Amino acid sequence: MAIATLDQVLPQGRAQKYAVGAYDFMNPTMMLGIMDAVEETRTPVILQFPDGQCMDDLDIYAPAMIAAAKKASVPVVVHLDHGKSLDACRRCLEAGFSSIMIDASTQPYDENVRITREVVALCRPRNIPVEAELGHVGQGLDYDPDNYQYTDPKEAAAFVEATGISALAVAIGNAHGVYRGKPRINYAVLEEITRLVSIPLVLHGGSGIPDEDFKKIIKMGVSKINIFTELALEAADRLRAIEKGKLDVFSADEAVRSGFKARTLQKIRLFETKSL
């Protein structure tokens, strides 16, 4: 099947009130576990490559991701997660990625707009959609709902209009990684963003958010949800459960792959992801 784009998998999710999972990975075994799950359920997936330490090995990861997407019987978006620079976005674009995220959310609003517009201009000639972030989704270990930088709904509408992005990552009480305390989603902010912004909305830091919150968030318009930590924790639990004396590279590989598959399956069902 041909590699898909965000524009091909997200609008239907928003219209029909379901979400498509976007899963990061750090090695091929993790990626294969994710692909096992989507093949079993026959559902689309957003396979994410995170900017950062892995970028040094882009020339190795990109062909593997693209090969997995082409081999799949379901739509697979090959996506750059949290691109931090124009150069990172350009490299992934040239490597064959079908979707790009630029994250300039730590910059002042006007600078975020400027950087995001540059990336959209870079991607538009190839019909590659761009995701961006407004409001800042920080780290769960620093999570403090009383001092949180929420996305401003009116700014969100202006940002989408000014940049021409295809998907907007919002800050509504979510954070990356393991949360310090229970996440507190601000539904009033999300409701207003949904009213003012017509493009698909994205939730980063999905690991650790309660199931009942996910269901409500999706019904309110979020159609892309990023998950990594929960997959990694499931794999770690399975590694620890291997009997003493039976841990080797083969059992470890199976534990990681099956852990990523199991948790991805759980999220597909929770998000009510539908086949395209």
Please state the rounded mean pLDDT for residues 137-161. 77
Domain span at residue 239? Answer: 6-271
**How many angstroms separate the most distant Cα atoms in the chain?**
59
Domain count, the chain: 1
Residue 41: CB atoms within 10 Å:
17
Give the catalytic positions in this structure: 81
Query: Is 0.85 surpassed by the pTM of this model?
Result: yes
CATH code assigned at 105? 3.20.20.70
For the segment 227-252, what is each residue's pLDDT rounded down to a tens digit?
Answer: 999 999 999 999 999 998 999 999 99
Residue at 136 is within a domain: yes
- Tell me if 82 is assigned to some domain: yes
Quick check: is 276 in a domain?
no
Kindly report, residue by residue over 166-190, the tens digit of the pLDDT: 999 998 887 776 655 677 788 999 9
The HSE-up count of residue 93 (CA atoms within 13 Å, CB side) is: 22
Predicted pLDDT at 140 = 46
